[in-house]
Amino acid sequence: MKKNKFTLLIIGVVTITGFWISWVSYNPADEKAMATFISVNELINNNISKRIKLGGLVKDGSIAISEANQLDCNFILKEGSSELYVKYDKTRPDLFKNGAEVIVAGRYTDGVFYADELQTKCASRYEGDLRNESSYNLIEVGQ
């Protein structure tokens, strides 16, 4: 008898949890809760308008900081052979520079990606510089 009460309770909790999680998954309250992670190529070809997350490298020499407001910045995001013009106007992370590996989130309008989030990969302490896998900061001492 008592066992049924508690089994019911567990079923109840599981059901409520299921509903709650599904509900938030389908309509999160905050726009920044979710972003679809796709490739730059896909974005440009399909002109997707919902909130997107992209990853790639900062193209060398493409960082342009506005004279008037140093927070305003444009750069070109390069993924493979695809390139994308990105605008970002918040404080830039310390590791943001030419060739840095970045992840941006935001929306794509009229050929420009307006990013509201910009992340760089954590300082490469753990596995060496990701782009210089087998390089050491070495001083050659002859053969």
Partner 1 sequence: MTPVAGSVSLSLALGFGLIAVLTLFIYTKNQDQRLFFVGQRLALGVSFFVFLATFILSYQLMISNFDIDYVARYTSIETPTIYKISALWAGQSGSLLFWLFILSIFSTITILQNQQKHYSLIPWVIISLTITQIFFLILTNYVTNPFKPTEADFIVANGNGLNPLLQNITMAIHPPTLYLGYVGFSVPFAFAISALINRDTSPLWIQSIRRWTLVAWLFLSMGIILGGWWAYQELGWGGYWAWDPVENASLMPWLTATAFIHSIIIQEKKDMLRLWNMVLIILTFALCIFGTFLTRSGVMSSVHSFTESSLGPIFLSFVFFILIASFGIMYSRLDDLKSPKKIESFTSRESGFLFNNMIFVVLCFAVFWGTLFPVISEAVRGYKITVGAPFFNQINTPIGLILLGLTGIGPLLAWRRTGTKNLIRKFTLPIIICFISIILFLLIGYKGYVVISFSLCIFVTTAILSEFYLGIRVRKNKFDESLHNALINMISKNRSRYGGYIVHLGIVFMFVGFTGHAFDREKEFSLQIGQVEHLAGYEFELLDLSESERPNHYAWISKIKVTDYQGQFITNLYPEKRVYFHNNPDVNRRQPHSELDIYSTLNKDIYSIFSSIDNQKQIAFLKIMINPLVRWVWIGGYILVFGTLIALWPRKEE
Closer to partner 1 by Cβ: residue 58 or 86? 58
Please report, as residue ranges, which positions from 52 to 91 form the binding site for partner 1 (by CB under 8 A): 53, 55, 65, 69-71, 90-91
Residue 126 within binding range of partner 1, rule CB under 8 A: yes
Sign of CA dihedral 124, 72, 85, 50: positive
> Considering beta carbons, is residue 81 or 141 the nearer one to partner 1?
141
The residue (of 84 and 118) whose beta carbon lies closer to partner 1 is 118
79 close to 57: Cβ distance less than 8 angstroms:
yes
- Specify whether the backbone of 52 is left (phi greater than 0), alpha (psi in -120 to 50) or beta: beta
* Residue 39, Cβ density class (10 Å: 0-12 exposed, 13-18 middle, ≥19 buried): middle
Q: How far apart are the first and last CA of the chain?
A: 83
Among 6, 26, 49, 81, binds partner 1 (CB under 8 A): 6
Question: Which residues would be at the binding site for partner 1 (CB under 8 A)?
Answer: 2-3, 5-6, 10, 13, 17, 20-21, 24-25, 28-30, 32-38, 53, 55, 65, 69-71, 90-95, 97-99, 103, 105, 117, 119, 121-128, 130, 133-134, 136-143
